[in-house]
Structure 1
Amino acid sequence: MLLNRILLFIVALSLGHMLMRLHLPIPFLLGGLLTAIVCKTFAQRAQVSWPKQLREYALMIAGYGIGSTFTADTWSNFLQELRGVTEATVVILGASLLLAFVTAKLARENLKSCIMGMLPGGMTLTMLLAEDDDEVNPNVVMVMQVIRLLSVVITVPFLVIWLLDAKVVGSAVSMPNHGGVHWLVFIPLAILGSFIAIKIHLPTPKLLGPILATAAFAVYSNGVQPVPVYLMAPAQVSIGLFMGMQLDAKRILATKKMVPYILIGTAFLIVVSIGMANVLSARYGFSLITAFLAMAPGGIAEMSLAGMSMNENVSVILTYQLVRVLAINIGIPPLLKWMFPQKQA
């Protein structure tokens, strides 16, 4: 098993390096993701898995890298754009709930399962809720969340390149060093941020904790150095491998009738994101690429890393993605209790 994991990691790292040479966005994350998908699809007898703990460590490194992009102007910009952040969150969540109702109707599936499965940015929360709720089909939730996330992570970076003429100017692993506190500060920041995030029950604490701790420290100390490439590249590979390993053929076969609706729904969410991105870009003046990555129904780490590789405004992307994730994780449990009062314990 250990040898298989080492070989898997080497293949994913090599593929990531090749994708980087081709100037593709988030190459190492995509390298891990594609390697895992191919392995799960064509080498099922190899019994390869990727430990969640390695993904957690990788998220802590990525969280520092994302948080280090914060500046003193970030908070000020957030307050100025509060209306846009609120509107963006309401629009994408409203579209997701509408799709859940349509999917449940057409696929004749449990409405509660479809709501949990369609929410963008709520994968960790919805899977935990699904495990504890006898009224929910966990297969549906898992398949909907995984296919949506994988579809967005793979398609959105390429859409902004082909449709919006974005340029990949880096790899999101080798960021310019503008000075500041030495990058080794990420160790105490990541540990402290993760610890606090776990204690206050933040979603995805190993990512959000380091992001928030690093962002606060970067603003206070006038900057920190980026994580070196020899740490960020393996971290992205580890995140991609874990994501790809979530694609379970047995679960998909058990809910295969849902797959067309999931893909169509994901495409609809992307279209809605593009529409809202045009509104935000025109109103606040940041690029359409930044606005699209901020709106895209993907993960915080993936969209922020894509923005880093294209030299976009990562603080804007992170702000919009973060507010949506927090809104889902804080607001959805009471919403579900209100919508399904008789099905709650």
Structure 2
Amino acid sequence: MLNRLLLFVMAACLGTLFLKMELPIPYLLGGIFAAVACKIAGSPVTWPKNWRELGLLVAGYGIGRNFTADTWEKMTHQTFGVLEATLIAVAVAVLIAWWTARHTSANLISCVMGIMPGGLTQMMLMSEDDPRADANVVVVMQTLRLVGVIVAVPFLVIHGLGAQVMQNNAIVQTTDGTHWLILVPLSFLGAFVATKLKVPTPRLLGPILATAAGSYFWGSLQPVPGLLMMLAQVSIGLYMGVMLDPKKLSATKELMPYIFSGIVLMIGVSVIVAWSLSERYGFSLVTAFLAMAPGGIAEMCLAGMSMGEDVSIILTYQLVRLLFLNICVPLGITMYFKNKSLD
């Protein structure tokens, strides 16, 4: 317990430093970097999954409250853009997977599962159940993709796209709307129902969908206190950082150039598609980029919150892609590789 407390303090200090540097999602990044630094130094750090999931419940409420009736009306006019962005992201991921499998010892099914954006949990579970997939390759590729994007995107939106972090965004409170403690029944009910329905990543999507429904029908919901959101970000970040295993990274070092070049390609395509979406629908380039970026739904929405961007747009695009990747892509993988050999 003492080691975890020290790890948390280290993450919080790094997060505060990143906040002073005006980086988005500073405390989540602080958690990742603190855990990775300890693992590289050889310290056997761990972070309970239950603590991460409590953080997801808070983040899910914070994200879902941005979805309103007005958001739904706007998004009905952007159906083509949402589907276009999703299909382009999947196509680029498949291209990267094919190229990686062609030039490394990893097989195609492992590379496809490893590079799909937004499907970390589902792809890891599939790799464990399919003997043709190398679970180690999938874990390394998915973890590096997610962490790489989460680290790269904040720098790009700040230094490349001219976004600015709202220093007081995390602590500004309002008395308007339903009290933020509504997150307790909403988040737990949403997570429970999502788990029973076998929705992917239920501890995140359940609270998001339940809170979005509450916001749609009841109107404004108050944001959570800044301290609580900070605790949630640190917990999520620490769990992600702990997932990086130096031994697994060493065992798959031949994949590294292809993973990182794939991340660069994904981000580059995301910028191009984001520019097109921004021009077509009128929201900011930063909002469009975070909506298109191949990171996690929680991380990209939290980044948008910290910069005052339109989180409802980011949420919608990321959510549609996440559902597509966790429902349609697994079916596609199963059908395509159904009669393939283990080689």
TM-score, length of structure 2 as denominator length:
0.97
* Distance in 1, Cα, partners of 2:117 & 2:72: 24
Question: What is the count of residue pairs matched by the alignment?
Answer: 342
- Residue 137 of structure 1 is matched in structure 2 by 134
Confirm or deny: 8 A CA contact 1:170 1:308 kept in the other structure. no
Q: Structure 1: where are the runs of 5+ without partners? A: none
- Residue 204 of structure 2 is matched in structure 1 by 207
2:184 is the alignment partner of 1:187: yes
- Residue 103 of structure 2 is matched in structure 1 by 106
Confirm or deny: 8 A CA contact 1:5 1:48 kept in the other structure. yes
- Residue 251 of structure 2 is matched in structure 1 by 254
Confirm or deny: 8 A CA contact 1:26 1:171 kept in the other structure. no
Confirm or deny: 8 A CA contact 1:95 1:269 kept in the other structure. yes
2:229 to 222, 232, 256: 232
* Distance in 1, Cα, partners of 2:166 & 2:235: 23
* Distance in 1, Cα, partners of 2:168 & 2:126: 35
Larger CA deviation: 223-232 vs 176-185:
176-185
How far is the alpha carbon of 1:193 from its aligned partner? 0.3
Confirm or deny: 8 A CA contact 2:187 2:206 kept in the other structure. yes
Larger CA deviation: 164-173 vs 316-325:
164-173
2:331 is the alignment partner of 1:331: no
With over 3 angstroms needed to count, the CA separation of the structure-2 counterparts of 1:170 and 1:76, relative to structure 1, is farther
2:305 is the alignment partner of 1:308: yes
| Equivalent position SS for 1:136 | coil
1:6-53 Cα distance to aligned partner (Å, 9 max, x none): 1101111122122222322111111111101101111x2x32101111
2:286 is the alignment partner of 1:289: yes
- Residue 34 of structure 2 is matched in structure 1 by 35
- Residue 4 of structure 1 is matched in structure 2 by 3
1:132-157 Cα distance to aligned partner (Å, 9 max, x none): 11111011100100111111000101
Confirm or deny: 8 A CA contact 1:337 1:344 kept in the other structure. no
Q: Aligned-residue CA RMSD in angstroms?
A: 1.4
- Residue 151 of structure 2 is matched in structure 1 by 154
**What amino acid does structure 1 have at the position aligned with 2:35?**
A
2:63 is the alignment partner of 1:66: yes
1:32-76 Cα distance to aligned partner (Å, 9 max, x none): 11101101111x2x3210111100010000000111112221111
- Residue 18 of structure 2 is matched in structure 1 by 19
Confirm or deny: 8 A CA contact 1:172 1:305 kept in the other structure. no
Larger CA deviation: 311-320 vs 162-171:
162-171
* Distance in 1, Cα, partners of 2:298 & 2:279: 25
Q: List 4+ stretches of structure 1 deviating above 6 A.
A: none
Confirm or deny: 8 A CA contact 2:23 2:158 kept in the other structure. no
2:306 is the alignment partner of 1:317: no
How far is the alpha carbon of 1:222 from its aligned partner? 1.0
**What amino acid does structure 1 have at the position aligned with 2:166?**
V
Confirm or deny: 8 A CA contact 1:180 1:224 kept in the other structure. yes
1:85-140 Cα distance to aligned partner (Å, 9 max, x none): 00000101001011111110011321000000010000000000011111110111
1:49 to 36, 46, 51: 46
* Distance in 1, Cα, partners of 2:9 & 2:169: 19
1:281-319 Cα distance to aligned partner (Å, 9 max, x none): 000000000000000000001000100111000000010
* Distance in 1, Cα, partners of 2:167 & 2:173: 9
* Distance in 1, Cα, partners of 2:139 & 2:276: 32
TM-score, length of structure 1 as denominator length:
0.97
Overall identity of the aligned pairs, in %: 52
| Equivalent position SS for 1:291 | helix
**What amino acid does structure 1 have at the position aligned with 2:117?**
P
| Equivalent position SS for 1:166 | coil
Q: Structure 2: where are the runs of 5+ without partners? A: none
Confirm or deny: 8 A CA contact 2:173 2:225 kept in the other structure. no
Larger CA deviation: 255-264 vs 175-184:
175-184
